[in-house]
Structure 1
Amino acid sequence: MKLNAFERAAMNNPVRAAHQHHREAAWFRRLSGGGLSGQQVLEVGCGRGVGAEVILDRLGAAWVAAFDLDESMVELAQRRLHGRPVQLSVGDVCEIAQPTASVDAVVDFGIIHHVPDWQQAVAEIARVLRPGGLVLFEEVPREMLDTWAFRTFTVHPHENRFQPGDFADELARNGLHGSGEIERHLGGMVFVGAVRKTEPAP
């Protein structure tokens, strides 16, 4: 689902950008064991391009492919990231236009809770990730989406939402396993974690 006007303003402003560059980047650096140095990375839901900046500048990726369902966001990202090693496109996380096992890491800055069929999104992320590859995720749990503020000011699917445990179970069903506990941050408003794709049996 595309963001409404309130969500676009909340997600596309200097305060949010600073939070991504500093606090969220620090979470992901720690969870990844030091960053994504030299890696080929896919960002699902690029917005206006701040996440790709973080992946390049704070996590050290060599190259980023990023997409968004909203054409206007992709246009903003193209202007922001002009000349950088980023491939941008309009796309759907349930039908990722990347070959199977083609990226070293996938980064999700809070996109999957917007997706009605989020289980298909997880399956697609697992498909494009190379064996041993990493997924870094920040997501919003069901109880936050059920609060008055979220229901009044934002637009999200109401059915088939997830708690951290549900999300971890679905990742595991797709061969994506974490080495540590999922962390809650911002008073429980978001949860973050890291999982790796299981190496195939010899």
Structure 2
Amino acid sequence: MLLNWVERAAMNNAVRAAHQHHREASWFRRLAGGALSGQHVLEVGCGRGVGVEVLLDRLDAGRVTAFDLDPTMVESARRRLYRRPDAACSVSVGDVCEIEQPDGGFDAVVDFGIIHHAPEWQTGVREIARTLRPGGLLLFEEVPRWMLNTRAMRTLTVHPRDNRFEADEFAEELARHGLHGTGRFERHLGGFLFVGAARKTG
């Protein structure tokens, strides 16, 4: 589901970018047990490309493949990343519920708060699991159902209203697809986000 103008403003600004580069990068580095040095990483829902920068510059990914449902955001990401070599990153239009990548093609997948935007989010989880190699790592931050059901979120955003999840339900769905948590969820920003990591068995 595409963002409305309120969500675009909230997600695409200097404060949000700084937060991703510093706090969110540190969360993911800790959850990953270190950097993603040299790994091929898939970012689902890349927006204007800040997450790609974080993965390359803060988590030391070797290469980042990224996509977003919104062609406008993809063009913005390409402009942001144009000085990066083609070998380091690529950005395209895509859907987390139908990822056009081969089975087991990635060492890690990163979700900077995208899955809760998908009406059929379970399909997105299944697709992420499919694209991870055995032993590969999913790093995620997500918004729980209770937050999406607050008056402010219901008034200002266009998130799907049905079939949402709390952290434990998200973990259960991950496990159904062979993605098992590496520790307890972390809750940040007053519980607005839950953050975690899961590794693919096999």
TM superposition shift of 1:162: 0.1
Q: Which runs of no fewer than 5 residues in structure 1 stay unpaired?
A: none
Aligned counterpart, 1:175? 178
CA deviation map 1:2-41 (0-9, x unaligned): 0000100000000000000000000000000012010000
Matches within 5 A, 1:120-199: 120-199=123-202
Partners of 2:83 and 2:45 lie apart in 1 by 20
Shift of 1:60: 0.4
TM-score scaled by length of structure 2: 0.98
Match of 2:6 in 1: 6
- How far apart in 2 are the matches of 1:35 and 1:169? 26
Runs (4 or more) in structure 1 with deviation over 3 Å come to none
* Shift of residue 179, structure 1, vs aligned partner: 2.0
Matched, 1:105 2:108: yes
Measured in 2, the distance between the counterparts of 1:57 and 1:23 equals 14
Alpha-carbon distance in 2 for matches of 1:83, 1:44: 21
Q: Deviations over 1:158-182 (max 9, x none)?
A: 0000000000000000000012101
Match of 1:116 in 2: 119
Q: Distance in 2 between matches of 1:55 and 1:3?
A: 23
Partner of 1:81: 81
Residue 62 of structure 1 corresponds to which residue in structure 2?
A: 62
Matched residues in 2 for 1:94 and 1:35: separation? 27
The separation in 1 between residues aligned to 2:139 and 2:146, in whole angstroms, is 21
Give 1:118's aligned amino acid.
W
1:25 aligned residue: 25
TM-score (norm 1): 0.98
Query: Which whole-Å deviations, capped at 9, do the CAs of 1:105-163 have from their partners, x for residues lacking one?
Result: 00000000000000000000000000000000000000000001101111100000000
SS in structure 1 at match of 2:67: strand
Amino acid at match of 2:27: W
DSSP 3-state at the match of 2:95:
coil
Return the offset for 1:82: 1.0
State how many pairs are aligned: 199
Deviations 1:65-122 (A, max 9, x none): 0000000000000000113211111000000010000000000000000000000000
